[in-house]
A = this chain, B = another copy of it.
Amino acid sequence: MPYELYYWDGIQGRGEFVRLALEEAGADYVDICRGSASKGQGMPAMLAIMESGAGSDIPFAPPFLKDGDLIIPHVANILMYLGPKLGLAPKGEGERHVLNGLQLTITDLVAEVHDTHHPIATSKYYEDQKDEAKDRAAEFIENRIPKFLGYFERVLQQNPHGPSHIFGNALTYVDLSLFQVYEGLRYAFPRATAHLGRRYPHLTALHATVMKRPNIARYLESDRRIPFNENGIFRHYPELDKDTA
């Protein structure tokens, strides 16, 4: 039975981190909200699960994964579950938790990216919090991008197996997520990220390597890869971007 991914149609958003893992592994999966209602798919299928009274496994928010009867919400949780099954994570318990720790740091970064355009209220339009967004984005560019990317660069550099992967000597789902973060930050903040190659050489090399992997390259060319847009997490609002030293 294929994995079922439930996430909003029309954006990469948080769902993209899961899509990249499924695509790299060539896994059999259905992106439910992008399917047609005539097949029992589409948005109504997602809402039916979220509004059901089935028990403790009802998700708070998309994305969530359905594997048979099991419903698993939250990106890092989905990836931790899928990782060993897709050959994108070690199987040892301790190693899985170390990897999950790295992914949860990406989760925090992604939440901060979201808040650069919605610092006050998710329920309100960007236009209604633009001044605050400018302040928050400036802080993000000045302090948070260096802190997060500096951290990942350092972990790559310190990997005893070499800087090609964030963990161990093989590709993991965290490498794929770092590709997506790098891609997203460059889309949202082209000026602020102009220096990435110089300042974060190992991260930049990792991004290039992931992009060239056959399954990822095919996916990026396909219409399954939704282009970045201003409804997702990474949004390009030129007024929030700026040059850095």
Contacts and interface: CB of A to CB of B under 8 A. Distances in A.
Nearest to A106: B60
Nearest to A152: B60
Contacts of A94: 70, 72
A105 interface: yes
A235 interface: no
Interface size class of A (residues with CB under 8 A): 35 or more
A76 interface: yes
Contact of A139 (B93, B121, B167): B121
A172 to B, nearest CB: 10
A76 B159 CA distance: 24
B55 A159 contact: yes
B120 A101 contact: no
Contacts of A54: 158
Given A72-B98, A72-B101, A98-B70, A55 B158 contact: yes
Given A119-B136, A123-B139, A166 B74 contact: no
A143 to B, nearest CB: 5
Given A104-B76, A108-B111, A111-B111, A56 B158 contact: yes
B132 A119 contact: yes
A73 B101 contact: yes
A131 to B, nearest CB: 9
A56 B167 contact: yes
Given A74-B104, A104-B76, A120 B135 contact: yes
Contacts of A81: 93, 97
Contacts of A64: 101
Interface in A195-244: none
